[in-house]
Structure 1
């Protein structure tokens, strides 16, 4: 499938701008166009070096568990694996519902606090809190079930670009496709959906993608009706993917570089551990029964 270009379209002046804006909106709203665009974006932004700002991303590892006083032992083991980086200048901050709410209250608006409180599942509050934290302070967010593999991580902090993980899901087999293979192979079935994860997120403070995802998530949570909650699209990877796609399109439209690296080999640094005790009950958002 061809991907609409964000620049170089026919027309001049206001007509040219209108066509470009329509192209961006088409990519954002059409899930197949957005998937194709994310595939090409991943190819373009995977490991690309250049003259990027070198101001350091804060060396803080941020994690979340709704009740940090009752973290399951197997999850705690995963979280503690990142303590290995403390000897290399990192500090680790673990937040729960109460401390996350206090941070949001101190750093953002009452609307953001209300949005956090309106997230009914711990996974959704985790999604929302990481955006609140990183938008304000920057740093390195990693999920509680990711296990550090002890490999080199220095390349992830070599400049101040936003870094997120590429994902690809095959709807035909209900399985994930290896991200590096999905980004580099010439094969691209219509059943593959390319997007980015909201774990890990490595970013300087106030990156436009994170701020846009935060505000979109806030609007989505506060304006939702009584229907089912789609965590992925409201506060999770879907929300971040849309924010990234819009930002990259606008940057390309302006013929500017996109200050993002999309990681297709994150599993060399960390892996999500399976199984874990909480995955078998409603603490796992995939098994959550909405009332």
Structure 2
């Protein structure tokens, strides 16, 4: 049973568009997923201005997952990571007590590129909110891949279908990429109390209705859920065990408002270390978050 359908809300980031899905007024989280943005699809010409880059900025209390269908983003962070993020790879950054990073479109600037992907945030359990910051990168071949009903499934993170991905997670969850040719089917088991799918491209049929790109379907607990592709489709399935209420402000996630206020004060005062290899500029705390 479909409990809720969320439409992406498109917004221009000054060079490309993203579709914000989570948080949503009627549904703040799905399992530990507290933020879900659909980036692109966008085409960049060579000579892309640096203003499109995402300058160094901070996070606390979460893990970020950048997963691309097309394109490349250069990641640099305050634990010393310098990693190009390419299509099909898993890039898992745990902020914990605090991390800063930048995301730059260097390949696009040199030769032109396309961008299409998902950036999501997973809230950390209270016991891990102040964990040491870390970054892990996993190649496409590191991810469990399997066939299901004519669809190809790739497990990005967590555990489902008796398989576990390599990315270190902090609470029970799953994150799955389905590539569905027209007419293929996929089934999401009732393993977790909170489950959703997001149609990133194409269209799928579920519970007798058709849903196109930009729709997130939130399912009620219990019972397997079936999908059928009515066009070549890309679908992300996500969910897990709920963690309880989280406060989200700007790039900060925490189980208390006081911790977010501390993070804002730390960033305003320059107490959070900038990326080792990208420390000449940063994004100031927005006025509305001050």
Determine if the TM-score, normalized by the shorter chain, exceeds 0.5: no
Which structure is higher in strand share?
2
Which structure is higher in helix share?
1
TM-score with structure 1 length normalisation? 0.25
TM-score with structure 2 length normalisation? 0.25
Higher relative CO (Cα under 8 Å, sequence separation at least 6) belongs to 1
